[in-house]
């Protein structure tokens, strides 16, 4: 019997505040299938948020298929992904993604977002001599 392959609730971004934080503080990376927005989550696992609007497909059935493919790609690659909140957005209208291509691109773009987040963090100043408040040349 095969193990149950589930997508537990704690792997989902559910609140509007978390989506807003990801959009405000996150970094982006675009591929041919996905636009990935990633932000630090402070958790020990990645979380997924989906944003598939009517601009991608007018019909809900087709939008939901795109969501299912994105969700499955995330579920299959979750162990390889950095511990970030990731919001996935289709890169173009009328997208018909495959799970394998989406999974490959998701891993690549998530790592790029993690690298950009790391580069944007402020570097702490090196410890120097204690300042006495007296400017000496």
Return the pLDDT at 45: 92
With respect to residue 125, please indicate whether it lies within any of the assigned structural domains.
no
With respect to residue 45, please indicate whether it lies within any of the assigned structural domains.
yes
**Domain total for the chain?**
1
With respect to residue 128, please indicate whether it lies within any of the assigned structural domains.
no
With respect to residue 81, please indicate whether it lies within any of the assigned structural domains.
yes
CATH number of the structural domain spanning residue 19? 3.30.230.10
* 3-state percent breakdown (helix, strand, coil) of the chain, nearest 5: 40, 15, 40
Domain, as residue range, for 51 = 9-119
pTM: 0.83
With respect to residue 1, please indicate whether it lies within any of the assigned structural domains.
no
- What angle do the packed helices 60-77 and 99-120 form, to 10 degrees? 70
pLDDT tens per residue across all 137 residues of the chain: 455 566 788 899 999 999 999 999 999 999 999 999 999 988 999 999 999 988 888 899 999 999 999 999 999 999 999 999 999 999 988 889 999 999 999 999 999 999 999 998 876 766 656 555 555 55
Contact in structure between 73 and 7 (CB atoms under 8 Å): no
Return the pLDDT at 71: 95
């Amino acid at each position: 019997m095969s193990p149950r392959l589930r997508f537990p609730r704690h792997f989902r971004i559910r609140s509007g505040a978390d989506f807003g934080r990801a959009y405000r503080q996150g970094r982006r990376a675009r591929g041919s299938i996905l636009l990935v927005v990633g932000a630090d989550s402070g958790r020990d696992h990645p979380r997924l948020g989906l944003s598939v609007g009517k601009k991608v497909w007018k019909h809900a059935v087709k939008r939901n298929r795109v969501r299912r493919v994105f969700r499955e790609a995330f579920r299959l690659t979750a162990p390889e992904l950095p511990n970030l909140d990731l919001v996935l957005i289709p890169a173009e209208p009328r997208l018909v993604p495959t799970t394998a291509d989406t999974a490959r691109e998701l891993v690549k773009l998530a790592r790029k977002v993690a690298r950009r987040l790391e580069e944007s963090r402020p570097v702490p100043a090196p410890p120097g001599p204690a300042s006495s408040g007296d400017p000496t040349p």
